[in-house]
């Protein structure tokens, strides 16, 4: 995928200010807010990673904690923020972040799946009872424009159990950021991925 492709304009419904009053209790006391992709991305250089679901094994044991653990290093390499997006509602994303003790990575709830669908990454996982979820990917987004794209191989909508975790790791991101800090973005910042599904609305 070539650079300069703008991300879609989407509004996310986000819960803010909720608190859990008792162990195992529901998060209450907050409010709903509308936060747009412009709010999240304009004027910033962002690392975005997407995963199939909160509380799922690879996402919880490797990908999310990996980006959290490398947050300071990633930010030191010219990145303003690190975002995690998943096709889960805001209650679920907030509860997952709390359980995982996430203090730095910002959680974006794509509850409707609209952002993921417009990015061409929405797939069916009905065979697992998940419904529609995101294929695993990550990107550097600079002022709302995709600078670099990483996508796991084998994207499919056929209900297979394949969920590779090779291309969207924090280690791959750090390698890219280190390279671009050295060569000042010379050359073609494109990923060797299949992006035929990108931005089909």
Question: In Å, how far are 41, 104, 150 from 71, measured between CA atoms?
Answer: 17, 7, 18
CA 82, 134, 175: angle at the middle one, nearest 5?
Answer: 40
CA distance 40 to 137: 18
Known catalytic membership, residue 84: no
Catalytic position from the list 59, 82, 85, 146: 59
* Residues known to be catalytic: 59
């Amino acid at each position: 995928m070539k650079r300069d492709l703008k991300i879609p304009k989407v509004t996310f419904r986000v819960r803010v200010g909720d608190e859990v009053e008792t162990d195992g209790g529901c998060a209450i006391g907050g409010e709903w807010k509308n936060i747009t992709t412009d709010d999240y991305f304009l004027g910033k250089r962002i690392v975005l990673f997407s995963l199939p679901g909160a509380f799922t094994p690879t996402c919880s044991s490797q990908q999310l904690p990996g980006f959290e653990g490398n947050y300071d290093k990633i930010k030191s390499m010219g990145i303003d923020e690190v975002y995690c997006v998943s096709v889960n509602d805001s209650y679920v994303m907030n509860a997952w972040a709390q359980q995982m003790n996430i203090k730095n990575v910002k959680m974006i709830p794509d509850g409707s799946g609209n952002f993921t669908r417009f990015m061409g990454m929405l797939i069916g996982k009905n065979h697992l009872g998940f419904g529609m979820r995101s294929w695993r990917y990550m990107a550097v987004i600079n002022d709302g424009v995709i600078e670099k794209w990483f996508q796991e191989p084998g994207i499919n909508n056929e209900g297979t159990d394949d969920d590779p975790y090779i291309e969207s790791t924090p280690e791959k991101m750090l390698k890219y950021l280190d390279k671009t800090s050295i060569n000042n973005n010379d050359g073609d910042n494109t990923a060797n991925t299949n992006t035929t599904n990108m931005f089909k609305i």
